[in-house]
Copies of this chain bind each other. A is one copy, B any other.
Amino acid sequence: MHKENSSDALNRRFLFKKCELNTALNIISGRWKAQIIHSIHNGHNRFHLLQKELTNISEPVLGRQLKEIETQGIIIKKEIPETTPTGIEYLLTGKGERLIPILDNLCNWIKENP
């Protein structure tokens, strides 16, 4: 986990204070996070659908990434009634939705500046 007072942790906090840009990047820069957010936006909004989309991801890894972006308020979980076992839907929050165009810009930036 985190060591609170390692140089690494101190530097991370220094950057968070310096500019919100670093906070934002911290949220979306995990290995699968941006892709998960995009995939949910494209309708792959169930655990097993995401597993299919992200061929090589393992269950614990997907679970962790989902939990982290949930903690950051990018997605929320919603139980689907009358399903067994109880299905869970992932939905983008407003914050999450407003991130989508920025991710698209990033995508186009690379396409136009290879």
Residue-wise interface mask of A (89-114) relative to B, using a CB-CB cutoff of 8 A (1 in contact, 0 not): 00000110011001101110111110
What would be 25 A-B contacts, judged by CB atoms less than 8 Å apart?
Answer: A11-B31, A11-B32, A14-B54, A14-B56, A15-B35, A19-B35, A19-B38, A20-B107, A21-B34, A21-B38, A21-B103, A21-B107, A22-B34, A25-B28, A25-B29, A25-B34, A25-B106, A27-B110, A94-B113, A98-B113, A99-B109, A102-B102, A102-B106, A102-B109, A105-B105
On chain B, the residues within 8 Å of A11 by CB distance are 31-32, 56-57
Q: Which of B22, B35, B98, B111 contacts A109 (CB 8 A)?
A: B98
Copies per assembly: 2
